[in-house]
Amino acid sequence: MDKHSLGHLGLCVIDLVLLMSLAKGTWSECAENRAESYVAVSEASYDRNYSSITSEGKQPLGFHKAIWHFNQPDTTPCISITGANSRRLEIMFESVPPSRLCMKLTGAPLQCSDSGTGQLYLCPRATEKTVYVEFTCDSQCSENDVQFWYRLVLGAAPDEDPEDHWCQQRNREYPENLKQLPPGVPINTHTEKPGDMACNHAVSLSLMLIIILFHFC
């Protein structure tokens, strides 16, 4: 094989590696040297007030915020959380406005949100003491930067949750769920059950009969 053929083969190998990286959704690995240690907010201190994702210093429901920058693989948000071994790890994120976003755990396949809601909920069991979470995207994402809320919560230790019910008992509420209806919008707080209308008519007729009896007696 001549030098020209070897050079062409080398370029093909490089292209293949790049294509494989794109298929995985990221060109960079979420590693210890660039991971940001996750700082959890106590659930007792969760802020239940709605906050825009552009607001500074706000963490509704204990969520952090980040940005995935389009076509900047070296800046993908990379988060590490320790003490996770054998525990469930609740992972929630929500893009604002809703759009497709993906995340990848160390050694696990890419998981992506639905573009209609921008939300993803996962609760896998960790197999390592330190888990790395990378927020990235794939070829189906839009060619725009994506702002998003995210939260990581370590579950109970296995001996404290022997039946493995911790994930099912979690409240899957996102920051955008805290948004309230505009003032003046009527809220129906009573749902009529079958028979309610007939019952109301019967009560009205009874009152009318009582009034008539009092009037003529």
For residue 199, CA distances in Å to 160, 194, 208 come to 50, 10, 14
Q: Return the CATH number of the domain spanning residue range 34-178.
A: 2.60.120.680
> Which amino acid is it at 87?
R
Residues 6 or more apart in contact with residue 2 via CB below 8 angstroms: none
Q: Residue 47: what pLDDT?
A: 97
Q: Residue 39: what pLDDT?
A: 96
Q: What is the pTM of this model?
A: 0.71
Question: Helix, strand or coil for residue 182?
Answer: coil
Going residue by residue through the chain, which has 217 residues, state the pLDDT in tens, using 9 for 90 and above. 554 454 444 444 333 333 333 333 433 567 777 899 999 999 999 999 999 999 999 999 999 999 999 999 889 999 999 999 999 999 999 999 999 999 999 888 999 999 999 999 999 999 999 999 999 999 999 899 999 999 999 999 999 999 999 999 999 999 999 997 665 555 454 444 445 545 455 545 554 555 454 455 5
> Which amino acid is it at 113?
S
Radius of gyration of the CA atoms of the chain, in A: 27
Question: Helix, strand or coil for residue 211?
Answer: helix
> Which amino acid is it at 188?
N
Residues 6 or more apart in contact with residue 158 via CB below 8 angstroms: 86, 87
Contact yes or no for 139/27 (Cβ under 8 A)? no
All structural domains of the chain with their residue ranges: 34-178
